[in-house]
Amino acid sequence: MKMGIIGLGHVAELHVQALKQIGPDIFAGGWNRSSFRAEEFCARFGGIAYANIDDLLGDKEVAAVLVATSTASHFEFAKKALEAGKHVLLEKPLCERPAQIRELARIADAKSLVCMPSHNYIYAETMRRLHAHIEGGRLGKVVNFWAIYNKRHDASIGAPDLTMRELMIHHVYCMLFFLGRPAHVYATGTSVHFEDASAHDQLMITAEYADGKIANLWGSFSADDRSREPWSCYFKIIGMEGTGVIPWDVTKFGEPELPFWDDATYWDSFLQVQTYFLNECLGKGQQPLSNLDDAYDAAVILDAARQSLVDKRRIEIDFN
């Protein structure tokens, strides 16, 4: 099986290095708006630097594609790939609007193709095992969930909605993986670091469940946690009979090219999501651990959180 990549930015580098670990010949090549970037990328990692999208999608050896462009073009390229008969692994956030996710699901279903969100965090073995323990009842009734992220990014990248779109999407799909759909959300945000004072670099989303559970989702691009046991990326679930905690910062290496690129758990999550996509979904016909319905729910929850930021009130979530 061969896989191509549409969009050869930084995240594509993590994906292609994961593919190389699974099999040296899986990566067929990729396309990028900048032909220079495509040539440079393929010179480093191998594969064909396709001149255009149609060449990539017309390659009969390519069975699947990763769409790793900017969010604004995800829907366009994922739809084009599905219509060309390719399975799709789609980077998050999947689309600009929830309705676009529903449209991708309709096309994938009609063509019997897999369109899987690259919700990479939940494919980590530690996350999957904790989920299994919850499903097995070992933690008893779950009462609260914490997803915490603190990692300073360059202040110049700040833009309205950046932190919500690029960071909090991880928290929300993890929350859905462990707890399912919440009923209400309340969100608050501040700007303490970004050069753009209108851009939140710290966000807190509190999600409430009909049965009383509360999920606390904290995301910050403003500062590193420099303590002995840092909350750089940290998950905790508390139940009546047990507790599960999953810290990152376990294995670190090198000088990071970008924030968090020195964390092995982050790198490994790309290997794990690619392994599941290729071996379990495409090879064995298994369903993704987080599917397009979950991606739709995550998009709806983030829209409700955005509304809460503007209205400064608790928002009831409408998943219809």
pLDDT tens per residue across span 23-41: 999 999 999 999 999 999 9
pLDDT at 141: 97
Whole-angstrom Cα distance, residue 243 to residue 145? 10
Please compute the mean of the pLDDT values over residues 125-151 and round it to a whole number.
Answer: 97
pLDDT at 260: 87
Topology given in CATH for the domain delimited by 2-117: Rossmann fold (3.40.50)
pTM of the complete model: 0.96
Whole-angstrom Cα distance, residue 213 to residue 65? 38
Contacting residues for 89 by C-beta, under 8 A, at least 6 apart: 3, 64, 65, 66, 67, 116, 118, 273, 274, 277
Domain pair 2-117 / 122-316, same fold: no
What residue segments make up the domains of the chain, in order of their start? Answer: 2-117, 122-316
Sheet holding 2-6, edge to edge: 48-49, 27-31, 2-6, 62-67, 87-90, 115-117
Whole-angstrom Cα distance, residue 309 to residue 202? 12
Percent residues over pLDDT 90 in the chain: 97
122-316 is classed in which CATH architecture?
A: 2-Layer Sandwich (3.30)
Q: How confident is the model at residue 256 (pLDDT cuts 50, 70, 90)?
A: confident
